[in-house]
Every structure is written in C-alpha cells, then in structure tokens.
Amino acid sequence: MTSKQESIERALSGYRELVQTLSARRTPEFPDPGVTMAQMRVLMLLSVVGEMRMSDLAHELGVSLSTLSSVVDRLVDTNLAARRDDPRDRRSVLVSLAAAGAKVLDSFQELGVAHLRELLDHLSADEAEAVTRAVDVLVVAARRISPEGQL
C-alpha cells in the first residue's frame, strides 16, 4: 500500500509527463500572441476577484508595484483592462478586466477545452469515466481551498 505522499508524487510526476508530452507534440497556440504570460496572470486574477487595487494586485501576484504598473499599462493600452482612481482613496488606483480581456480569457479556456477533448477522445469509455471521477474529486478539493468555497 502506498502512502498519500507517494500517491501525490506519482500524480505530479504523471502531470509533468503529460504536459511535456503534449507540449512537444504541438506548437503552443495563444488566442492573442501579443499577450504575455505576466499579462495573462493579471487577467486571470482580475476575472476571479473583479476590480482590485494595484497594490493588492501586486501583493497577490508577488511582484513589485513598478513591475505590475508596466504590465497593467500594456493591458490598458490594448483595452484588455481598465484602470481608474479609487474614489475612497485618491492615492490608490483600481484595475478591472475589460470586455476584450474577458474575450481573450474565454478564447484561452476554449483552446484548453479543445485540447483536453482531443485527448479524452482517445480513451475508452471506462477510462473517460475514471478521468471524470478524478476531475470531480479535484474540483471538490479546489473548492475547499478557495477563499469563497467556489470556483
């Protein structure tokens, strides 16, 4: 019988191999090649939390305010995010996801779904059911660690 830690390590190893195998098989596709990974991180966080102060956003992402400012500047310049003064604190700036930014995220998610569908199509019915059960378990775990208890 394997320990929980051994099972976790096997799952992580399998995940790494899955990502490497799929990455080697196809060239990376991106809904908008002008959007960097740093910008995607900002967009993804904004899509979850909504409008946020720049200082809180920098803290949440683990980057300096000056680094975040340049990323947000590019997002605002391309209409993927919006920035405005905080009416409660004139020294603070609020950032939110713009409609075009939401469309980029939707496209990115659809791309991931298409790739996963292609992979799942190569499984037997029993294998697909096993994956579905595993994903259900992961969703429950993600909800447990999510601040609001939902995704």
User: pLDDT tens across 121-132, in order?
Assistant: 999 999 999 999
Provide CATH code, domain 37-101: 1.10.10.10
| Maximum separation of any 2 CA atoms in the chain, in Å | 60
Q: Alpha carbon 117 to chain centroid distance? A: 18
Residue 149 has pLDDT above 50, yes or no: no
pLDDT tens digits along 43-73: 999 999 889 999 999 999 999 999 999 999 9
Burial class (CB in 10 A: 0-12, 13-18, 19+), 2: exposed
Predicted confidence (pLDDT) at residue 112 exceeds the cutoff of 50: yes
12-30 residue pLDDT tens:
999 888 878 877 766 556 5
